[in-house]
Chain A
Amino acid sequence: VTAEDDGTIANDDMAYRRVHPKQAPPDLDGVPRLSSAAFKLTEADHGRLSIYLRSEVESIPATSSDCVAQGAPHTIAELDVSYIRNLAHGVLRDPITSGAVPNICDPAHAVITGFATSRKDTDRQARALREKARWPTS
Chain B
Amino acid sequence: VVDRLNEVALLEAGWDGDNAMPPTQEAGLAAIRAVCEVMWRDTPVPAIVPMFDGGLQVEWHRRDLDIEMTVAPDGSRHVWISAAGGLIEIDQEFRDAVDDLRNHLGLLTQA
Contacts and interface: CB of A to CB of B under 8 A. Distances in A.
Size bin of chain B's contact surface: 20 to 34
Contacts of A119: 72, 78
A133 B48 CA distance: 20
Nearest to B91: A120
A35 B47 contact: yes
Contacts of B68: 36
Interface string A24-56: 011111000101110011111000000000000
Nearest to B48: A25
A28 B108 contact: yes
Contacts, number: 73
A74 interface: yes
Interface stretch (B14-22, B25-33, B34-42): B14-22
Contacts of B20: 20, 42
Interface string A94-138: 000000010000000000000000011001100100000000000
Contacts of B57: 35-37
A70 B11 CA distance: 17
A35 B49 contact: yes
Interface in B1-25: 8, 11, 15-21
Interface of A: 18, 20, 22-23, 25-29, 33, 35-37, 40-44, 68-72, 74, 101, 119-120, 123-124, 127
Interface of B: 8, 11, 15-21, 44, 47-53, 57, 59-63, 68, 70, 72, 78, 80, 91, 108
